[in-house]
Chain A
């Protein structure tokens, strides 16, 4: 019998299996894995000072939408992969907290962060870096073409002229969608809030799956008015889309982008170094270029397009109420608006 042939055949078979099995990655000592929901256009800019100050630490970034990042973290609960969460919505960090997935850590300089921007426990489970808030993206070209007035408030959006021209993110799949709905319920009280949403629903053309999409759809003229968040509208305008960003008169719903240390068996020192840096002056300076409100005031001018007094624009928002009632609100929302099938013409 020809043993060589036989061996070759078996080897080929095994090689396939082994090739598949050993393709796993090997990690260096000073390497941390960061999960983030910060915008794609922000991350490279933010990381420039960090790389300069800590050249010895390699950061690997998993960037995705709030929903996907949270789902990934929860799916990996039994065996966490991430070392650090950076810039994830505080309301979803609260969910992770309830699951006992966060490790308490007080980064250097945390005392400078105002109380409403961080977890009240000491050491805190999470620390905020900036706030983002509801803004309407309005396409001025389309508005003129369709002869529509410029909306200035939530109440304006109920006017019959806007019927079929509005689009907003589905709160079940978008952080921006949820903070807007939760703000309306807090502003008007639950009963009035749902009544408002019922009427808004009559005007709504479509619910989409991300917070950025309504603004980009407005920019492309697909739907002239998109309920989105301020940063996105201002960015779109900067890129040349005919977009005006409106912050509603009644006040904007908001959420924090916050950081946290993941609870796992081997917490790396580099992870803590990163969290220290993430609320340092150099990091805050970068955040302040994107957002009007950051956790530690920097003295930088407020970016073009935001309200001059951003803190006044933000409503009184109870983040822990929002987190606690999230499941209930979403279920109610699905019951009221989820079963609708055809988009209204």
Chain B
């Protein structure tokens, strides 16, 4: 690097999200020239912990990989074990799984919309969207007993049924979202300041998305037509018409910028509502779990030999779990991969050429599930002088940029 560049480490604690991750930026003036990623601050060795647990216990561990994706990980994990053992899941359970997963998508996307608004300095929008999110969390609590970590998944099905009485309540919540959606769309997609801050910022081209194996809304916003629910329909999605949403649907063209990522996520809220409605309309009757008695299930696991993968389209993209069983209570191996893992590399082309004040919104734009910050150190290599930017300073820079552009 030329001696004109500065090196800025950001993280492990940082403003775009409330999770730890370190970034090292090489800055020329205000422009980012190079990015080095250093995750791992939140590595808890969950796969290692899984070695001392049987697959039924792992479901609850998988649920706790992430507080927001707490239906996605057990969904993929249960599918992996079912595929390894050859268990067929009852139809009703497949539908209930899809309903819970879609409710989770609604809450996750609205949560993200609030965070994105906060990064840009629109705290009133943060409050509005997080207020809207409460409704779906209340519904999830009503259906499963918990706002997060639902504990509803079981190998071979689900643990709780959805009764006709509960369906009325689900429909009521969906109506609420249909009502409020217009408002959210208007704020995010028609507001000139949000457009100024997010259009042509953090661009990821389609080729880069393919080569770097991007997943989820990040990949779709770059025009990559990829969604596990569409490509390899599993569970109830096999009966439904799910189409991957790319920004063309809304604006007719793909830019692959932060704005497009907002478009994709907002449209996916509508898609989730439609999926839940279809699931409720076609909800089959019957059993909800293949093997009700856990002791018997565990005995089956102990005798099972084989390997399987489970894939699910989580709110952030594809999650994949791999399980190998070897006639033992404990699995031979359990591997979990969350979507942000694949979206780490696409961050680099997105960030290069951007300004420091754009860092929070670009980082937040992939909806990462790891990262966050307390302070930024600006180190002048020449003089060795250190300036510490706190979380508030960086946030202020971002808010000021919005104000400047809005004037």
A and B associate in one complex: no
